[in-house]
Amino acid sequence: MIPTYFQRLCVLFSSTTRMSAENSGGPWKDRNLTTCRIPRLALFILLMFLTALPASAQQTKDQKKAEAQLRTVHGLVENKDEDPVPASVVYLLNVKTLAVRTSFADEKGLYRFSGLDPNVDYEIHAEHEDMTSSTRTISSFDSRRDIEVNLKVSRQKKQ
């Protein structure tokens, strides 16, 4: 299989080079097609291209696997009477990097954070006007990919 493929490649390369040399009247005019001398650089580039294909396919598989393991946190923000609180702000703290993400609850009081690292702990709480909820922890030991955390804004913010 490989010798046949290599022979075809040699003939293709030689005939292409020969055709361009014939048009220019170069030294390839009387060259025999049975001998093939592909420049080393062209062979090196071809080999690099062929070895890069499986690596790029593996990378996309690894990316898909990593994306499949990402977590989503969602829930409802409600007041002490258990009524939805629209337009409240939900804060999500990455405990490892101390990065904070925010989300606004929609008209039904629902919020959502997606694309969360499963190997990191998070802290989440909601605020609305002068009220706040208690801070809840989302542990990296929780293996669920879809986590529901309802937040109740029922106490005064500390000034």
Cα separation, 90 vs 134, whole angstroms: 11
Would the pLDDT of 152 be above 70?
yes
pLDDT in tens, 16-65: 544 444 455 554 444 554 455 557 777 778 777 777 766 666 667 666 66
CATH number listed for the domain at residues 70-156: 2.60.40.1120
pLDDT at position 33: 46
Per-residue pLDDT band at 7 (split at 50, 70, 90): low
pLDDT at position 136: 97
Across 88-117, average pLDDT: 96
pLDDT at position 28: 47
Would the pLDDT of 141 be above 90?
yes
Phi, psi of 95 (to 5 degrees): -65, -30
pLDDT in tens, 74-101: 999 999 999 999 999 999 999 999 999 9
Q: 53-67, 78-92, 109-123, 135-149: which range is least confident on average?
A: 53-67
Categorise residue 25: left if φ over 0, alpha if ψ from -120 to 50, beta otherwise: left
Q: At CB < 8 A and 24+ separation, what contacts does 37-46 make? A: 38/9, 38/10, 38/13, 42/13
Q: List, by residue range, all CATH 2.60.40.1120 domains of the chain.
A: 70-156
